[in-house]
Amino acid sequence: MMVVMVDLEVLVRAEVSRFVTTTDVPGVAVAVAAGGLVVNAAHGVLNVDTQHPVDWKTLFPIQSITKVFTATLVMQLVDAGLIRLAAPVQEYLPEFHTQDLEASAKITIEHLLTHTGGFEGDLWEPTTSNSNALDRFVRDLVANADQYHRPGAVFSYCSAGFGVLGRLVEVVRGITYEEALRTFLLVPLGVERVAFSASQALAFATAIGHVRADPSSPLAPTHEWALMPPSNPAAGNQLAMNARGLLALGKMFLSEGVAPNGERLLSRASATQMLQPYIKHRSRPGTESWQGLGWRLPRPGLAEHGGGAPGVAALMTIAPDRDVAVVVLTNSDAGGALAGQLSNALLFELAGIEPESAPAVPASDRLVSDAAPYRGVYLSRQTQFDVSSGRDGRLWLTEQPLNEAAAMHRIEGTEARAARNEIRPNGDGTFSVVAGTQVTRLVSFLDPAPDGAFRLFAGERVALRRNDPQTSPSWVGGNA
């Protein structure tokens, strides 16, 4: 598809205008690369109180998209012959372990890159904001993490694993994670406008997240700019940049590892390997979604990674075979839907990639033959899941934030509310979460124990049955 600059600018601005008028998002910044051209678009304000307009320079928190940067830093170490993907993490970080010492010895670097390490991934308790943050993260938090399943068995989103990878980069390079990211990626990519903390963000025009204290309240800025502690920068706790800066990373993968200045930052083999499917996701309705090395592969021809925290949402998507990359950064919870809509529209216009169709809602009479094995309370560190059934045999899933997730609501200025939705069997071992007339995601019940009880896979994470004394998390009943 032949793209000229003026056409690309008109298209991007038209699509932004089309979608932002129907969404609850104060500000959005978009950057698009297509056929060697790059354009930006911006709309709205970075803070509804200050009314300062968003422009191409505005920084937004990118949250978990940072994991792609971390994965790339790790693959640079592979290219340099300093580490091996198949090697146990303990070969380079002897201090690394979870509560399960036997399983810990088997966890490889590849397991961490693909979210298959098997341990609790949402360790949001603060440690320190100093240069030893990742060292303390590994020694103080990961060392006490529960091991939910054997390494390599199940995809379960694990930010803590990327904290370990960030510490690995520090040890092998002999510098801090921030120094490594600036030296080996940001500087050669030409990314200058970047903040690793709230104090650094003050040097720029930086967007703040927006939430509603309750459904009837107006959008308001969160009480603090950074809701995540600085303890795990490698997973994306506080990194912020503008859309064009983030797009530079996506463009590098379109060029198979080459920076805009012509410098090769990643071998062609490693750039390609990061985009290969390793393990299938379980939570995307009606798709063949897989996990690569750092990257998510939502469907053939695409790679992406999203980032979100209360009040902010971001998405970077690349279509390597079509030479197209799209970045959307927003400052509202509703920004996740906007980012998906904008990205889908632009990918269709520029690359001919059809958007995913909405998943079909299972018929209301789809029921399990016996609800008893599913009923119960399941726990991850940040969420309690209650599975119940009515007299009609329907299954219901109630989700309640716990621990740091609940505290985060207080910090942002909202209440931690429970969400209750029906779940209906799809006939393939998965269940659709039905909210109103739509399917929002899938959940699964994994590996029944001898008594018939399951583990729950929800929110892309494994949650353990609370009434199983052999596997109940160590923090159950606590208020960490």
Closest to 126 measured CA to CA, from 240, 238, 241, 210: 238
Could you tell me which residues are beta bridge partners of residue 308? 313
Closest to 142 measured CA to CA, from 13, 231, 261, 265: 231
Residue carrying structure tokens 């600085």: 230
64 is annotated as an active-site residue = yes
Q: How many CA atoms lie within 13 A of 118 on its CB side?
A: 21
Q: Is 224 strand, coil or helix?
A: coil
Q: Do 114 and 275 meet the contact criterion of CB atoms below 8 Å apart?
A: no
Report how far residue 365's alpha carbon sits from residue 363's, in angstroms, rounded to the nearest whole number: 5
Q: Which of 64, 104, 283, 343 is catalytic?
A: 64
Which two three-digit tokens encode residue 239?
A: 């990194």
Which two three-digit tokens encode residue 451?
A: 């008594």
Which two three-digit tokens encode residue 40?
A: 């930006």
Q: Do 194 and 169 meet the contact criterion of CB atoms below 8 Å apart?
A: no
Neighbours of 69 (CB within 10 A): 29
Report how far residue 9's alpha carbon sits from residue 413's, in angstroms, rounded to the nearest whole number: 38
* Burial classification of residue 437, based on how many CB atoms lie within 10 Å of its CB (0-12 exposed, 13-18 middle, 19 or more buried): exposed
Phi and psi of 253, rounded to 5°?
-75, -30
Which two three-digit tokens encode residue 260?
A: 């805009």
For residue 353, the 8-state DSSP code is: P
The two most distant CA atoms of the chain are separated, in Å, by: 65
Q: Do 202 and 393 meet the contact criterion of CB atoms below 8 Å apart?
A: no
Residue 140 CA, distance from chain mean position: 23
Residue carrying structure tokens 């107006």: 218
Q: Do 332 and 25 meet the contact criterion of CB atoms below 8 Å apart?
A: yes
Closest to 221 measured CA to CA, from 209, 235, 234: 209
Pairing of strands 438-446, 430-435: antiparallel
Please name the amino acid found at residue 89. V
Neighbours of 50 (CB within 10 A): 11
Catalytic positions are 64
